[in-house]
A and B are shown apart, each in its own frame.
Chain A
Amino acid sequence: MIKVQNVDKTFDGFQALHNLDLNVKKGSIYGLVGTNGAGKTTLIKHVTGILKQDEGSIFIEDAPVYENLEIKQRMGYIPDDLYFFASYNLKESAGFYKSIYPRWSSERYAQMVKQFELDEKRKLSRFSKGMQKQAAFILTMSSMPDYLILDEPIDGLDPIIRKLVWKYVVEDVAEREMTVLVSSHNLREMEGICDSIGILNKGKMMIERDLDELKSDIHKIQVAFRDPKEDPYAGLNVLHRESRGTVDLLIIRNRKELVEKIISESNPVVFDLLPLSLEEIFIYELGGGDSEIEGIIF
């Protein structure tokens, strides 16, 4: 389990992380989303023990991460900005990884190289950005990490490779209880794979919940009444409301059953209840004023 508590980090007067909490359950996939500059990469660099927080604590399995050799041996990290030793090819890099990661699996490495169809003897610097991502993924996954930290892992990957990458991740989560923290802007993909989501904004954690719970709590509805009551939405937590003729468009944060019950009491002639996608939740949570939401969500 990864536990980040009250972490602060300031860069030359700029507060990159502010009193930040994050909890990743063992054997789960945690999606970290946020606007550009929200602090995702900074947070990930703290979780991987690269940077040291100014305040707060970061624990993995109840042990501090920073300078923790034992944890680092069981952790795999793929940054957005990749780095390999100059002039090394995949095979040489694998040799180095093998020498420093005690649980390195040569079988998995061989299998993945075959599956991803990468030339082991070609210099990594000659690879395309997508191929370099694949190489980093092969190296990291072959070290059989218990904790996998991915920063924008699927950027530049084609759909087939993306599927393959997620397949490996999901299999390891299922089979080895690997814990995954992944940051991405591809919310559709995150929606399909993550168990939990944390939405980061300006260095603060805005929302951190199980994805299912998050999605079942917030709804987009279209409703029209023949004889509308004075307040047909009384008892509901209406986050946003607008009217287009006789049709009301609303975003409501309540349990689905409660929403259906209260709206049904007013005999609507039109009543469509739709769950918000993660993308829509993200836009709603971080999008700013209502007028902006209006144009994006409806």
Chain B
Amino acid sequence: MRSKASYFSISMPLVRENMRRFWAIPVLAFLVYFLSGVFPILMSYKDLSRMASYIEMSLHNMQPFFMGAHLIVPVITAVLLYGYLQKVSSVAVMHSMPFTRSKLFNSGFVSGLILISTPILMNGIILLLLSKPTYRQWGYAENLTISTVNVFSSGEVLNWMGTSILIVLVLFSVAVFTGIVTGNNLMHLLTSYFFIFLIPLLYAVFNFYFQEFLYGFDLSGNWLDICLSISPYTGILQSGGYFGTIAVLYYIGTILVMLVASAILYNKRKLERASDSLTFGFMKPIICYIIAFLGMTMLGFYFQVLGEERLYMYAGFAAGTVIFFIIGQMIVTKSARIFNKVGLKSFVIYALIAVLFLVGLNVDVTGFEKRVPNPQKLNSAGVNAYFNSIMWKSGADREEPYLTTPENLEALTKFHRSILDNRERFEQAQRNQYTSSLQLEYDTTGMLDMNRRYIIDYRFWAESPEMKQIFESAEYKSKNSFYSVKVDAYTRANFYGERGEYGGNKELEIKDSRLVEELVSCMEKDFRAMSYEDLVSLRPSYVNIEIQYTYTEEGVLGGTGNTAHMSFQVPLNGENTIKWLKAQGYDFDLTADMVERIDIYAPKQTNLSSGPGAAVMETKDIGYSSGVPMMQIDDKVKIEKILQNYETSSIDYNNSYEIRIHYTPDMSDLDAREYDSRNDYYIHGYLNQGLDFLN
């Protein structure tokens, strides 16, 4: 009677023999790790500071040779170790020898563990012996900045050993599993890589579908992180070289699940199926359906390019299903004789699943589109819209507010609901509208965050009471304050006026740190005083100010710190800043007296019956592209009216009038050489409210 313990037994002679037969694998792997990782370190061992980035890249498994070895070695090892299963002669001889199936399987697995982890362990030990404090540094002389993070500590080396072993073990266990369920070496190899990259591949494919069918679906967020983390191979790239505790436990769990599943299937494997494509009947429809699904997707989305209507896409789905189902069947049955009752039945089942999937997406069976989170179950939320941006800060995590107060969270979810209520408005007749992508991010109290992305029009955004509430809230003002960034010193302020003659004037720059600090203080006051209408206004700014400052990054020594920028489009009612600028002698006013004339062009007409990239049709007798204005204004009263009303973007392309404000530049501050009187100075703008106000 066999005891349970026999399931864990191994044959030492077989393990020894495997070592003797496949010694070349660890030797070659060792050389790859050594020559691409350790050897360059040895060459520069006296001064490793210039190798710091390379060491960091290597120890974080971002180095191409390491990643290549991690990908190739475990799969090839599994293919070689379990290759005896794939041939009629070898499978018979090996199983006639005094080994139980468990012993054969376990011995192969243990041999694999040794073969793939030895090169990593040996290189790891060498790296441990070599490890010494090494810091990244950049810049020269007084600007030399040194990171305080030791990239070549023993902890970093141990982390590399751990993550690398975890990566190769997961890949090896997957490749062992595929070896058990496939019947020949080629299928084993192909299926291993297919399975390793299956999840990211399916993720990409499902994204195609979700983006096409689910209103509001956003690619970014948790799902991308989760899908990349499913395989440690892609997970390490996403996690920057470290695995968290949950990830480690999950990968160990994956190895164990693969090990147990493979061991069970090995014992159930019908050895007479050696040389077939697949050795288990249950795998055949799975592989065939995945092939058909990928093919269906490929042709469906290819056909979509041929015509805008969904009908083209569905025709592509149908064509892809037929072609790739046949290919899939031929692969899994290793035969061209697939046109039989069994094949037809399998096809019908697949077709039904595919139809259910597409119908499910069309009717939003999971309620994805209508889901709006409960504000009370949110930790925080963010909103990003890419209309006009009055302020910008480099290095800031988010451009738009990161909200936490109950009032703002409530307002944001209400705004979200209002988008869903107006879905038709955004889906139709928006080609002539000024629209932008809007991203909503919810950090929920549950496991998964929620992200949505919509296209909305400017008016909806600008007229939203919820956004007004959020943008005028103390939380928004505080988190977007110019003082919310860490500054060591303000080093420069540059001014960019609407009027083009200012472009190259070096005097439009302040380098006095004290003055810049004063300026920032004025900017802050104006920002704090701005209403939502000011914040989203399309009116031209008085001037665009760019502030340069330095800051010290955490974890660096020496140097003058990093340089960063922030900018502010000073609104025309930004009295504090304007007053300060004028006091300093900067005048960016554009008055009617300076304007010679204003040319007004007829609106463009977008052809709504065509696609998004449709050609612009010219209307009336005078078109924009002809360069001939429909009207020229030189009356100073009317010019003043236009200056008080024009905006910088067109809201409705069919009804907004483009204007060119021709003006005489103020040359008092300019060098004569910089001014060319032959130049035609004008400012672009739009009249979104029609022309009636001129009468």
Interface residues of A (CB under 8 A from B): 11, 45, 48-51, 67, 69, 72-73, 75, 77, 79, 81-83, 85-88, 92, 96, 99-101, 149
Interface string of B87-104 (1 = CB under 8 A from A): 111111111111111010
B96 and A50: CB pair below 8 A? yes
Residues of B within 8 A of A77 (CB): 92-93, 96
Residues of chain A within 8 A of B84, CB atoms compared: 83
Known A-B contacts A50-B271, A51-B272, A96-B17; A83 and B87 likewise in contact (beta carbons under 8 Å): yes
Q: Are B13 and A81 in contact, CB atoms less than 8 angstroms apart?
A: no
> Which of A45, A67, A92 is the one whose CB lies under 8 Å from B92?
A45
The reply to whether the CB of B11 lies closer than 8 angstroms to some CB of chain A is: yes
Kindly state the separation between the CA atoms of A149 and B96 in the bound complex, as whole angstroms.
Answer: 10
In the A-B complex, the 7 residue pairs with the smallest Cβ-Cβ separation, listed nearest first, are A99-B13, A81-B89, A83-B89, A72-B98, A77-B96, A83-B93, A73-B98
Contact among A88, A99, A101 for B16, CB-based, below 8 A: A99
Q: Is the CB of A49 within 8 A of B11?
A: no
Interface residue? B2 (CB, 8 A)? yes
Asked if residues A86 and B96 are in contact (CB atoms below 8 Å), the reply is no
Q: Tell yes or no: B14 within 8 A of A by CB.
A: yes
**Is B425 at the interface (CB under 8 A from chain A)?**
no
Q: Is B21 close to A, CB under 8 A?
A: yes
- Chain B residue at smallest Cβ distance from A41: B92
CA distance A49 to B11 in the complex (A): 18
Q: Say whether A79 contacts B92, CB under 8 Å.
A: yes
Q: Report yes or no: B95 in contact with A49, Cβ–Cβ below 8 A.
A: yes
Q: Please, how many angstroms separate the alpha-carbon atoms of A87 and B93 in the complex? A: 16
Partner of B100, one of A69, A83, A88: A69
A92: chain B residues within 8 A (beta carbon): 20
How many whole Å from A3's CB to the nearest CB in chain B?
Answer: 19
On chain B, the residues within 8 Å of A101 by CB distance are 98
Interface string of B262-275 (1 = CB under 8 A from A): 00000000111000
What is the CA–CA distance of A221 and B16 in the complex, to the nearest angstrom? 63
Chain A residues with CB below 8 A from B101, complex form:
67
Given contacts A67-B101, A100-B98, A101-B98, contact A50 B17 (CB under 8 A): no
| Interface CB pairs A-B, < 8 A, 22 | A49-B95, A49-B96, A50-B91, A50-B95, A50-B271, A51-B272, A69-B98, A69-B99, A72-B96, A72-B98, A75-B96, A77-B93, A79-B92, A79-B93, A81-B88, A81-B89, A83-B84, A87-B21, A92-B20, A96-B17, A99-B17, A100-B99
Please name the residue on chain A nearest to B80 by beta carbon: A86
Contact A100 B87 (CB under 8 A): no
Q: List 10 additional A-B contacts (Cβ < 8 Å) besides A45-B92, A72-B97, A83-B87.
A: A49-B96, A50-B96, A50-B271, A51-B271, A51-B272, A79-B92, A82-B89, A83-B93, A86-B21, A149-B96
Name the residue on B nearest A80 (C-beta). Answer: B89
Q: Is the Cβ of B21 less than 8 Å from the Cβ of A100? A: no
Nearest opposing residue in chain A for B87, CB measure: A83
B332 smallest CB distance to A (angstroms): 13
Cα distance, A166 to B100, chains bound together (Å): 30
Chain A positions within 8 Å of B99 at CB level: 69, 72, 100
Contact B89 A79 (CB under 8 A): yes
Contact of A100 with B14 in the complex, beta carbons under 8 Å: yes
Contacts from B to A (Cβ < 8 Å): 2, 11, 13-14, 16-17, 20-21, 84, 87-101, 103, 270-272
Specify which chain B residues have a CB less than 8 angstroms from the CB of A100 in the assembled complex: 11, 13-14, 97-99
Q: For residue B16, which residues in chain A have a CB less than 8 angstroms away from its CB?
A: 99
Distance in angstroms from B424 CB to nearest chain A CB is 56
Residue pair B98, A67 in contact (C-beta under 8 Å): no
Q: Tell me, in angstroms, the Cα distance from A101 to B17 when the chains sit together.
A: 14
Closest to B18 in A: A85
Are B89's CB and A67's CB within 8 A?
no
B88 partner residues in chain A, CB cutoff 8 A: 81
Q: Which of A11, A83, A86, A99 has the most CB of B within 10 A?
A: A83
Q: How far is the CA of A99 from the CA of B12 in the complex (A)?
A: 9
Give the residue name and chain of the B residue nearest to A136 (CB).
Answer: B93
Kindly list chain B residues whose C-beta atoms are within 8 Å of the C-beta of A49.
95-96
Complex CA gap A73/B101 in Å reads: 14
The distance in angstroms between the C-alpha atoms of A149 and B272, with both chains bound, is 19
A180 shortest CB reach to chain B, Å: 15
- Chain A residue contacts of B91, Cβ below 8 A: 50
User: Whose C-beta in chain A lies nearest to the C-beta of B16?
Assistant: A99
Task: Identify the closest chain B residue to A81 (Cβ).
Answer: B89
Q: Which residue of A lies closest to B88 (CB)?
A: A81
Expressed in whole angstroms, the minimum distance between the Cβ of A260 and any Cβ of chain B is: 48
Residues of B within 8 A of A11 (CB): 272
CA distance A20 to B150 in the complex (A): 73
Closest to B93 in A: A83
Q: Across the interface, which residues of B come within 8 angstroms of A75, CB to CB?
A: 96
A81 to B275, CA, bound (A): 14
Task: List residues of chain A with CB within 8 A of the CB of B98.
Answer: 69, 72-73, 100-101
| Alpha-carbon distance A49/B98, docked complex (angstroms) | 10
- Measured in the bound complex, the distance between the Cα atoms of B100 and A158 in whole Å is 36
Bound Cα distance A85, B22 (Å): 11
CB distance from A43 to the nearest CB of B (A): 13
Is B96's CB under 8 angstroms from A96's CB? no
Which residues of B sit under 8 angstroms from A48, Cβ to Cβ?
A: 92, 96
Contacts of A81 in B (CB 8 A): 88-89, 92
Beyond A51-B272, A100-B11, whether A85 also contacts B2 by CB under 8 A is no
A75 (CB) vs chain B CBs: closest residue: B96
With a cutoff of 8 Å between Cβ atoms, the chain B residues found around residue A50 in the complex are 91-92, 95-96, 271
Nearest chain-B residue to A47 (Cβ)?
B96
Among B14, B16, B94, B100: residue with most chain A CB under 10 A: B100
A134 to B95, CA, bound (A): 21
A85 touches B17 (CB 8 A): yes
**Contact flag A96-B93 (CB < 8 Å), given A51-B271, A69-B99, A85-B21:** no
Nearest CB on A from B94, distance (A): 8
CB pair A96–B13 under 8 Å, yes or no, is: yes
- Give Cα A73 to B97, complex, Å: 7
Asked if A67 and B100 make an inter-chain contact with CB atoms under 8 angstroms apart, the answer reads yes
User: Complex formed: what's the CA distance from A45 to B21 in Å?
Assistant: 26
Shortest CB–CB separation between residue B77 and chain A, in angstroms?
Answer: 15
Q: How far is the CA of A87 from the CA of B13 in the complex (A)?
A: 18
Please indicate the chain A residues that have their CB under 8 angstroms from the CB of B96 in the complex.
Answer: 48-50, 72, 75, 77, 79, 149
- Give CA–CA (A69, B2) in the complex, Å: 10
A171 to chain B minimum Cβ distance, whole angstroms, is 23
Provide the residues of chain A in CB contact with B93, threshold 8 Å: 77, 79, 82-83
Residues of A within 8 A of B271 (CB): 50-51
A88 to B93, CA, bound (A): 15
Say how far B682's CB is from chain A's closest CB, in angstroms.
Answer: 80
Shortest Cβ distance from residue B275 to the other chain A in the assembled complex, whole angstroms: 12
Give the docked Cα–Cα distance between A83 and B91 (Å): 9
Residues of chain A lying within 8 A (CB to CB) of residue B92: 45, 48, 50, 77, 79, 81, 83
Q: Which of B84, B87, B100, B272 has the most A CB atoms < 10 Å from its CB?
A: B272
Alpha-carbon separation in the docked complex, A73 to B96 (Å): 9
Complex-state Cα separation, A82 to B11, whole angstroms: 22
Residues of A within 8 A of B20 (CB): 92
- Given A50-B271, A83-B92, answer yes or no on A67-B97 (Cβ-Cβ < 8 Å): no
Q: CA of A53 to CA of B21 in the docked complex: distance in angstroms? A: 33
- Give Cα A85–Cα B83 distance, bound, in whole angstroms: 11
Interface centre among B94, B97, B272 (most CB of A within 10 A): B97
Give Cα distance in the complex from A75 to B93, angstroms: 12
Q: Which residues of A contact B17 (CB under 8 A)?
A: 85, 96, 99
Q: Which residue of A lies closest to B17 (CB)?
A: A96
Q: In the complex, which residue of chain A has the Cβ closest to the Cβ of B95?
A: A50
A81 CB to closest chain B CB (Å) equals 4
> Bound state CA distance, A86 and B13, in angstroms?
17
Give the docked Cα–Cα distance between A79 and B95 (Å): 12
Docked pose: A241 CA to B492 CA in angstroms: 121
- Closest A residue to B83 by CB, please name it: A86
Q: Is the CB of B11 within 8 A of A83?
A: no
In the complex, what distance in Å separates the CA atom of A82 from the CA atom of B88?
Answer: 10
CB closest residue in chain A, given B20: A92
Docked Cα-Cα span, A79 to B99, in Å, equals 17
